[in-house]
Structure 1
Amino acid sequence: MAAIFNRFRSGDADGAGEVPLLERPAPPEPAVFDGAEAVDGYVVLRGETPYGGVGLAHCLRNSNGDPRHVVDELYSRHWPRLAQRYATVVVAQGAWRASTSRSPELLARDILPAEYDGEGVVRTSDSYRPSWKQVATVLGTPAPYWLPALRDEEAMRAWRPGQPPAVVPASHHREAIGQLTELAADEPEGSPAGQVCLWLARELRRRDHRSALRDTEDLRTSADSGQDSAHLVLGAVPAPLLRGGDNEQLPETLRRAGWLAITERRDVLAHRVARLSRMWNGGDDWHTGEPVSARPDLCPTAAEWARRLEKTPRDQAPTVLQHQVLTAGRDPKKDELLHDPVTGLPALRRQQRRAQHLPADIYTLTLQRLPTTSPLDSVILSGDTVWVRTEDGRLWFAPERCNHGVSWGYNGSGPHTLAQLLDRLLDDISAPAIAGDAGDPPAGLLQLMVTTPQDTPTTYSRAQLLVECRR
């Protein structure tokens, strides 16, 4: 099979003058349902019609799908008898345009009678968009449709014409929810990590359930009004959500404690759950914020910070945070993994890459709060970096939230966010980084951040910043 597949190339035919199969009139006899098969993330239901086999496919990986890809996968399984088994393949899409048909779209390709050219290339028509009415006409019965959140492979493979819809727990994220609940199941009672994982799993399920209910009702309403969805049947409906209502929000301190414990772990399950967290809300509940890099060769402040870094042994699997900085590496053999003993964060010393015009630097992460009670002494604006020095002499990267970076030297969001942050830190050095709802900073402080030049390092003392706050 490998040799056969390696010599296969996708190819289209012009199909000029051909009437697409799913646009033909009703055949004299209805289709005979012939079961289902799964190919590379799709479930394909097959009906045998007088025009040939019709395959209706739904993608399990995402909402939509490509009939060309389904044809390719079916070819690898059924060569050289693909055209004998399938005359057309139609893929149900996950979205529909409420302003037009209010029905899920379909994409189809017909497998042409001259199935292969001289080099073994399967020939298909161009993609076209049949309606559900046209598919039902060719099949002699309405075709089944599964909403993306209800595409359970076992339930889809078990479908038979005339049966009621399967009752499926709504979930776009079955694998992710499984990972969250698996981590929670191993945690001791009351564990913050277990609680935050279970909360997120329930939140994902609740949102998917609400979306599936809304889409199911929308399809039924459009069918009742005579839209194209009147010619499909639902393969599944969402199972009741027994907990009901809105998921209770966990206290912020509990969420942060949970993610702190997870990001310190080294096991692959923690890495997967952390990746899901970053997809969910950018890791907003982590103790870390935006990535940042510093150049000790050009910035004396960065050089001072770099001197406190310690080498990290590479004799064990990386933690979640170590993995995050390692993925920004340039050369695994030359990059040096470091550790900041003051913040507990990893850092990566990256070597210069002349061919790519990348200078040597140290890549690390900012914090969302500074873990100190020592008051702000000064702020240093150098290169692309905002440094905070506290009265105990320690240096810190300015705290940042993801997607809310700080900067200076122009009239924009970066200086605005920095002025807001400094206004906070002058009162409370452990204040959280700025989110989107922080309000307006003092006008004098904002003007100072906007007009500070970018081409030379600048230091402002606490006294100078307080004067600008009063303007």
Structure 2
Amino acid sequence: MGLITKNAPEGDDSTSQTWLSRAKTSTPASFLGTEFLGTFAVQTWETDSGNLALIHPLTATSGTTTAYRALRQHHGEHLTSQYACLVIPQIGTQVLHPYTPRLLAHDTTGHTEEYETSWQQLALVLGQPAPYWFHQLRDRDALSGWHPGAPPALVPAADIVTPVAALTELAADEPTGSPAAAVCWYLARDVRRRGHRGVSHNIEELRKEASAGGDGAHLVLGAVPAPLHRPDPQEPSEMIRRAGWLTITERRDVLAHRVADFAQSWNAGADWHTGAVTELEPDTCSTAREWAARLTHAPRDQPPTVLEKLLLDNGNDPERDVLLHDPVAGTPVLHREPGTRRAGMLSFNLQRLPTRSPLATLTLSKGTAWVRTDDGTLWLAPERDGYGIGYGYSGTGCFTLARLIDALLDDITAPAVAPGSRGEPPRGLFALLSNSDDTTYTRAQLIAARTRTA
């Protein structure tokens, strides 16, 4: 996509002191090549007024501040003599042109505040359109091989915001028929499909804006997405997804940790057997104290599992906090360092209770809901991450708890209430829980409450 550079608008007062507004170009800038500094691709241009660096971040967290810091660290006191201006395209787009990427600039001397510029202004300084790579297409080989006049490289869409390398690496080492492999292959292919469709749409809209005279008319594309050769992936069944994630979250290797990090950012681990993390204080809650009595110490001579690492990341001090194990729920528990402000225990709620014994009582204690089944086993009430349950008020948390208890009375294996799912809880049950303090209700009391209409 080669786009035509048009005349620049008159400079305004807010940018009149910037290097880009002062730079003069009598001949097109010389392109000096691409180098990689940490998580940045730095393309250097030599202009009549000094060198300019066009910097494309290669990770989602590589912003303008870290780009400037990386170049300052690399060049030290020579940065000002090496570059007059740093320009960093953003993942976000312009307000008036929603498919044209924003440009932020940072002069190395004089006007040192970060400022917004345009592709038109950049093209005037360079004497030619500058290249842009959508974040789904920032391939190192394509970036290093680019030169002015080069056609856009064909790059398989691989979004820097959601890299899938860990998924494919884990799946490649799994045996045939592995649920973990099925989960990882599906996610990787789904992410690639979404990335391809997203960037294809953005390029199409950018071209429309450019043809209508938008700022995108002053850039060229460094890459376009390579064709997809697979049909849309078919999502594995819920049983396979949950079996796959159960296997992954019990693993202790760094690859499983990376895959789990991906799942947390992608859908908050919606298909894991665990849900929310609950903070418990056995010193002040008799029910929590009963639960804590069954905990055992986790092995200390091996790396943490995926779930253990998640708890450790929420602790005070990984070297002093103590990992425990709940042998009934099969989940880790973190005993945070005693004597500190955040002392107490952290435990995962399950998304489903692994029992056939029916609900016998519901205990509400210190903000936590506990379910005891007919066989005497005590459980934290099922709860999804980010969709909390509560009582003692007429809010969303109590609404969710009422729906959950209504379901558990009929089926103890019913899942935690899902975000966005519909359905009203019984009015009587909601009224009972919304007006409750710390207490325990029997099964008979709960059934009686849900039959009341007022």
TM over 0.5: yes
The Cα shift of 1:299 comes to: 2.2
After superposition, give the CA deviation of every residue in 1:106-159 in whole Å (9 maximum; x if it has no partner): 1223334xxxxxxxxxx6533332321222122111111111111112211111
SS of residue matched to 1:93? strand
Match of 2:6 in 1: none
**Aligned amino acid, residue 409 of structure 1:** G
Q: Is residue 2:125 matched to residue 1:138?
A: yes
In the TM superposition, 1:201-220 aligns within 5 A as 201-220=188-207
The Cα shift of 1:212 comes to: 0.6
Sort the Cα spacing of 1:464 and 1:105 in 2 relative to 1 into closer, same or farther, 3 A: same
Correspondent of 1:33 among 19, 31, 34: 31
Sort the Cα spacing of 1:91 and 1:332 in 2 relative to 1 into closer, same or farther, 3 A: closer
Q: Is residue 2:143 matched to residue 1:156?
A: yes
Q: Is residue 2:246 matched to residue 1:265?
A: no
The Cα shift of 1:285 comes to: 0.4
The Cα shift of 1:215 comes to: 1.1
Correspondent of 2:168 among 181, 195, 199: 181
The Cα shift of 1:87 comes to: 2.3
Match of 1:11 in 2: none
Q: Is residue 2:19 matched to residue 1:21?
A: yes
In the TM superposition, 1:297-308 aligns within 5 A as 297-308=283-294
**Aligned amino acid, residue 378 of structure 2:** L
Sort the Cα spacing of 1:302 and 1:27 in 2 relative to 1 into closer, same or farther, 3 A: closer
The Cα shift of 1:294 comes to: 2.5
Match of 1:5 in 2: none
SS of residue matched to 1:366? strand
Q: Is residue 2:411 matched to residue 1:413?
A: no
Match of 1:464 in 2: 445
Following TM superposition, where does structure 1 have runs of at least 4 consecutive aligned residues deviating by more than 6 angstroms?
15-18
The Cα shift of 1:352 comes to: 3.3
Distance 1:309 1:35 in 2: 60
The Cα shift of 1:293 comes to: 2.7
Sort the Cα spacing of 1:209 and 1:63 in 2 relative to 1 into closer, same or farther, 3 A: farther
Distance 1:102 1:200 in 2: 27
Sort the Cα spacing of 1:57 and 1:212 in 2 relative to 1 into closer, same or farther, 3 A: same
Contact 1:165 1:237 in 2 (8 A): yes
Contact 1:380 1:460 in 2 (8 A): yes
TM-score normalised to structure 2 length? 0.91
The Cα shift of 1:55 comes to: 1.8
In the TM superposition, 1:314-393 aligns within 5 A as 314-332=300-318, 334-354=320-340, 356=341, 358=342, 360-393=343-376
Distance 2:266 2:19 in 1: 42
SS of residue matched to 2:147? coil
Sort the Cα spacing of 1:105 and 1:438 in 2 relative to 1 into closer, same or farther, 3 A: closer
Of residues 165-174 and 381-390 in structure 1, the stretch that sits farther from structure 2 once superposed is 165-174
TM-score normalised to structure 1 length? 0.87
The Cα shift of 1:98 comes to: 5.0
The gaps in structure 2 that reach 5 residues or longer are: 1-12
The Cα shift of 1:441 comes to: 0.8
The Cα shift of 1:258 comes to: 0.2
Percentage of identical aligned residues: 49
Correspondent of 1:109 among 84, 106, 110: 106
The Cα shift of 1:18 comes to: 6.8
Distance 1:314 1:71 in 2: 42
Sort the Cα spacing of 1:100 and 1:216 in 2 relative to 1 into closer, same or farther, 3 A: closer
The Cα shift of 1:50 comes to: 1.5
Correspondent of 1:166 among 130, 153, 163: 153
Distance 1:377 1:16 in 2: 69
Distance 1:203 1:17 in 2: 43
> Number of aligned pairs?
439
The Cα shift of 1:383 comes to: 1.0
Match of 2:94 in 1: 97
Match of 1:447 in 2: 431
Correspondent of 2:227 among 226, 240, 247: 240
Q: Is residue 2:109 matched to residue 1:125?
A: no
SS of residue matched to 1:30? coil
Of residues 31-40 and 101-110 in structure 1, the stretch that sits farther from structure 2 once superposed is 101-110
Contact 1:375 1:429 in 2 (8 A): yes
Contact 2:59 2:161 in 1 (8 A): no
SS of residue matched to 2:149? coil
Contact 2:97 2:209 in 1 (8 A): no
Sort the Cα spacing of 1:78 and 1:425 in 2 relative to 1 into closer, same or farther, 3 A: closer
